[in-house]
Every structure is written in structure tokens, then in C-alpha cells.
Structure 1
Amino acid sequence: MAYLVLAVAILSEVLATVSLKLSEGFSKPIPSVLVVIGYLVAFSALASVLKLGVPVSVAYAIWAGAGVALVAIIGAVFLGESITAVQIAGVALIIGGVLALELGGAH
């Protein structure tokens, strides 16, 4: 259950971050509203995940790492932003760090 709520937190944060780009400095009303709603849902869901017992280091690492990776992919695929091999390697390192935190906590 906690990881399902964490997925909601991740997707809400990604929606809010992409909407922030689309809001053009909060000059477009619909993306601007999505920014506020997305971040409210994301932080509320993340707080619920912590309340459900997921360690903060693991929850935050998964939330942030997945968010960075998804926003980078969306930026490159849908928003015409460039992505270099070095940036891809950086995302891979973030994912590796998240896995290390998760696997390290299994002891």
C-alpha cells in the first residue's frame, strides 16, 4: 500500500514540475493551477508514505530519483529538450543510488 501511495506522490510531483514549465512563469492559468494541485497532492502523499512506515531516506530517494528520471525523459521526448550521454549517465547514477539505499536497508 505504501508504495502505491508513493507512486501517486511521484506522478503528482512530475505533473506539477512539467506544468511549471508549461505555465510560462505562471502566466497560463491551467498549468499554473496544476502546479499547485500537483505539489499539494505530492507532498500530502509523501507524508502519508512516511506515516505508513517507509523510512524517510528510502521514500525520499525513490520519490526524488524517479521524479528526476521521469522529468528528464518527458523533457526530452515531449518538450524538445536535449539530453546528452552525460545526463543519461547522471540519471543512471541516481537510480543506482536509490537502489543502494533500498538494498542497504534490507539487512
Structure 2
Amino acid sequence: MHSSTLFTVGTALRRAEDNGLPVEVLVHGHWLRGTVVGVDGQGVILSTHAEHSVVRLESISAVRIPETMPDAPVAETFDDQHQLAMAGREDDGSFAMPGATV
């Protein structure tokens, strides 16, 4: 007996959303990065600290998700100038952005 698993873009994005993982999606040759804050049968909302992007699932060619997250020391995101910024992980599992005040 042969068993197989079918993975779809939507499945990958829902798993990333459920686990709070950052993702990268390939849309028309460009990688977009963010945290999945919403996904349905039509599209996905990716969020960074600077902006939200809404992308149609049918436009996504590939999804990259980190293999592991719990032990990761940092998460990557883009700041207001769309430059890569590093966020340090707090004891409660949240991320603290450099220069951010609460």
C-alpha cells in the first residue's frame, strides 16, 4: 500500500499561521516576506511591522517556511525603509524589534 500526502500553498500558509512562523512567498518572480495573519481559500495576508500585503493564492508559485522556529534566536522582517532588520526573541517567545518602544 502506498500512501501520499498532498501539500498545497494554502496548507503551508495555514500551518505557518498556526505556528506563528514567518514565510516568504514567490509572486511573479519576487519574494515577499512576512508573518501570516490571515489565509482563506482566495488569498493570504502577510504582515511586517511596516505594512500588510494581500496576495492571491493563485499568484503564489512557492512558499518558504523555516524548518524550525522554537530555538531560532531571531526573526527577519523589513523595517520602514524596507531594509532587513533583526528582531531578538524574548523569553515569552515574542520578538522585540530594535528601537521599538512599548
Judge same fold: TM > 0.5, yes or no: no
Provide TM-score, normalisation by structure 2: 0.24
Bigger relative contact order (CA 8 A; separation at least 6):
1
Provide TM-score, normalisation by structure 1: 0.23
Structure showing the higher strand proportion among its residues: 2
Structure showing the higher helix proportion among its residues: 1
